[in-house]
């Protein structure tokens, strides 16, 4: 089963990370990612650029409203993710608990449903399945 580990950090955690040498952060994340690779569970992982570079598309009105970052009203920001292939949610949680993250950072663990869980007679599901197969995705 696939699980996404969604990294969220508070503004305080973001500020505290500025006091840590960036090479130390990269080394700690590198060791963690290497352990995921060696265990054969890592499918994808990405960090994100600062929120100030982001944009929000808000669908509360028609047409949607687009606004630039930063987002002072946000209590937590989405900073990156991992996608793991594990046998159980408990295994995904165990891997999440090993991440080298500090106070004010949370990892949300969410299962990524398989395309097989959707109605197979739906034309759009069939098209997506064909697209995935043509791109070597399961």
- Structure confidence by residue, pLDDT tens digits, 53-68: 888 888 999 999 888 8
pLDDT at 138 over 80: no
Based on DSSP, count helices (H) and strands (E) in the chain, helices before strands: 4, 6
CB 115 within 8 A of CB 77: no
Report whether pLDDT(39) > 80: yes
* Tokens found for residue 64: 């949607």
Mean pLDDT of 41-45: 96
Predicted local distance difference test score (pLDDT) of residue 113: 92
pLDDT greater than 70 at residue 73: no
Asked if 16 and 105 touch (Cβ cutoff 8 Å), the reply is no
Residue 71 confidence (pLDDT): 64
User: CA distances (Å), 1 to each of 55, 96, 118, in order?
Assistant: 31, 15, 15
Predicted model pTM: 0.83
Query: Which tens digits make up the pLDDT trace of 81-130?
Result: 999 999 999 999 999 999 999 888 999 999 999 888 999 999 999 999 99
Evaluate if residue 32 carries a pLDDT over 90: yes
- Identify the structural domains of the chain with CATH numbers, from first to last: 2-110 (3.30.70.1060)
Query: DSSP secondary-structure letter at 51?
Result: G
Mean pLDDT of 72-77: 69
Give the model's confidence band at 74: pLDDT under 50 very low, under 70 low, under 90 confident, else very high. Answer: low
> In the prediction, which pLDDT does 88 show?
97
């Amino acid at each position: 089963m696939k699980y996404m580990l969604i990294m969220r950090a508070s503004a305080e955690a973001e500020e505290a990370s500025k006091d840590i040498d960036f090479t130390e952060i990269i080394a700690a994340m590198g060791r963690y990612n290497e352990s995921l690779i060696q265990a054969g569970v890592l499918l994808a992982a990405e960090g994100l650029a600062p929120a100030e570079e982001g944009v929000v598309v808000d669908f509360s009105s028609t047409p949607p409203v687009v606004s630039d970052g930063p987002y002072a009203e946000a209590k937590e920001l989405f900073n990156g993710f991992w996608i793991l292939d594990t046998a159980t949610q408990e295994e995904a949680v165990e891997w999440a608990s090993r991440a080298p993250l500090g106070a004010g950072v949370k990892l949300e663990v969410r299962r990524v449903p398989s395309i097989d869980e959707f109605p197979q007679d739906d034309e759009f599901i069939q098209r997506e399945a064909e697209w995935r197969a043509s791109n070597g995705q399961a």
